[in-house]
Amino acid sequence: MSTSSPATPSASPRTLASWYASVSPVLENVIDRPRKHRSSERVIPILGVPYDAVLAFVRFLYSSSCTEENMEKYGIHLLALSHVYLVPQLKHRCTKELGQRLTIENVVDVLQLAKMCDAADLYLKCLKLVANHFKVVETTEGWKFLQDHDPWLELDILQFIDEIESRKKRARKHREEQRLYLQLSEAMECLEHICKEGCTSVGPYDMEPGHKRRPCSKFSTCQGLQMLFQHFATCKRRVNGGCLRCKRMWQLLKLHSSMCDEPDSCRVPLCRQFKLKMQQEKKRDEARWKLLVKKVVSAKTISSLSLPKRKREEELGEARSTTPPPNGIRSFRL
Ligand SMILES: [Zn+2]
Ligand SMILES: [Zn+2]
Ligand SMILES: [Zn+2]
């Protein structure tokens, strides 16, 4: 590249020097270096890049623009040049455009270049693409070349994939737990509602017998609980006999009692007894139990805060239309 570029024949070397200085501090340094002869031309060799890519680069220095065609053909070269000669506008443009043109075939090459050029956004974008399509990416020439020539970068990429996977797993686990706590919180509501007002054919003993009530809005959960209640009232084996359904009921009643603020006036069976028992016995698993209570209470709040109203209604609708499992609330794994 020469400072007496034919693109601007009328400009003096001094004007050109200050122009380069304004777009690239690296070029400014090269141009300002003392020369042997005052009249000699300043030549800056640029090697390893196609001639047309250098031309597109110089054009950008003068016009601050680059055609789509040049970007398509020489995007990676222009990124390298903009990094080496510190031309931030061009680097920004290349990073953005290369990010939009990523393919399975070119992603590993672009990733290596992005790392060399400290283009963090582009590097991350490449990593994500590799992580999401690793099975295909690992069959490309680019990946094989990387394995042979840069095992440290290969390790970085594999670690990134591993972190993404474990993050996904953690998120999935968290979502499943939240769903369970939400189910438990709904079961607690149904428990109180069955014992207070009754629902369809199950209700408090002092309520008018044979009085059929309409199914409530949470009937899929409520019906499971009603079946559990009916079983609990008639089972011969009970909890001590090893009956799992009775044990489940027992745990739901205990959970209710832990959350109940009015055990004296509460109509849920065994609420007061559980409260007293828990106060007397400082059990070893008390902390774990308290944590469960806290999670069940907060699950409802979290879900009502994080879902927009329409979504919430849709979810409720779905829940209502789901038939309950045959043995009631099998999904509660207490
Ligand atoms: Zn109900
Ligand atoms: Zn039983
Ligand atoms: Zn209670």
CB contact set of 268 (below 8 Å; sequence gap of 6+):
191, 192, 195, 253, 256, 257, 260
Distance 235 CA to ligand 2 centre (A): 4
| Tokens standing for residue 172 | 């999935």
Higher-confidence residue of 224 and 300: namely: 224
C-beta of residue 329 within 8 angstroms of C-beta of residue 224: yes
- Least confident stretch, 36-40, 120-124, 158-162: 36-40
Q: Measured between alpha carbons, how far is 202 from 211 in angstroms, rounded to an integer? A: 10
pLDDT at residue 298 tops 60: yes
Helix, strand, or coil here: 199? strand
State the ligand closest to the CA atom of 234.
2
Higher-confidence residue of 10 and 99: namely: 99
CA 333 from chain center: how many Å?
27
Distance 301 CA to ligand 1 centre (A): 21
| Tokens standing for residue 155 | 């390790």
CA distance readout (Å), 314 to 187, 256, 319, 320: 19, 27, 9, 10
Q: Band of the pLDDT at 329, cuts 50, 70, 90? A: very low
State the ligand closest to the CA atom of 225.
1
Express each pLDDT in 195-207 by its tens digit. Answer: 888 887 777 776 6
Distance 237 CA to ligand 2 centre (A): 6
pLDDT at 40 (0 to 100): 58
pLDDT at 90 (0 to 100): 94
State the ligand closest to the CA atom of 256.
3
Q: Measured between alpha carbons, how far is 204 from 196 in angstroms, rounded to an integer? A: 7
Question: What are the structural domain ranges in the chain?
Answer: 13-167, 177-204+213-321
Distance 286 CA to ligand 2 centre (A): 25
Q: What is the mean pLDDT of residues 237-243?
A: 87
Distance 197 CA to ligand 3 centre (A): 14
C-beta of residue 61 within 8 angstroms of C-beta of residue 23: yes
- Ion ligand 1 nearby residues (CB, 5 A): 199, 216, 222
Q: What is the mean pLDDT of residues 286-293?
A: 80
Mean pLDDT taken over the chain: 81
CATH superfamily of this structure's domain 177-204+213-321: TAZ domain (1.20.1020.10)
Higher-confidence residue of 307 and 292: namely: 292
Q: Measured between alpha carbons, how far is 16 from 238 in angstroms, rounded to an integer? A: 94
- Least confident stretch, 20-34, 56-70, 259-273, 306-320: 306-320
pLDDT at 4 (0 to 100): 39
pLDDT at 108 (0 to 100): 96
Express each pLDDT in 45-87 by its tens digit. Answer: 666 788 899 999 999 988 989 999 999 999 999 999 999 889 9
Q: Nearest to residue 128, comparing CAs of 118, 116, 137?
A: 137
pLDDT at 207 (0 to 100): 67
Q: Please name the CATH architecture into which domain 13-167 falls.
A: 2-Layer Sandwich (3.30)
Q: What is the mean pLDDT of residues 241-246?
A: 91
pLDDT at 238 (0 to 100): 86
Higher-confidence residue of 138 and 216: namely: 138
Helix axes 219-234, 309-321, angle to 10 degrees: 40
Beta bridge partners of residue 202, listed in sequence order: 199
| Whole-complex ipTM | 0.95
Q: What is the mean pLDDT of residues 309-328?
A: 44
Distance 99 CA to ligand 1 centre (A): 54
Sign for the CA dihedral angle at 314, 316, 321, 327 comes to: positive
pLDDT at 88 (0 to 100): 92
Q: What is the mean pLDDT of residues 286-314?
A: 72
State the ligand closest to the CA atom of 247.
2
Distance 313 CA to ligand 3 centre (A): 28
Distance 294 CA to ligand 3 centre (A): 16
Q: What is the mean pLDDT of residues 286-290?
A: 78
Count CA within 13 A, CB hemisphere, residue 34.
1
pLDDT at residue 331 tops 50: no
Distance 220 CA to ligand 2 centre (A): 21
**Domain 13-167 identical in fold to domain 177-204+213-321:** no
Amino acid at 290: K
CB contact set of 275 (below 8 Å; sequence gap of 6+):
257, 260, 263
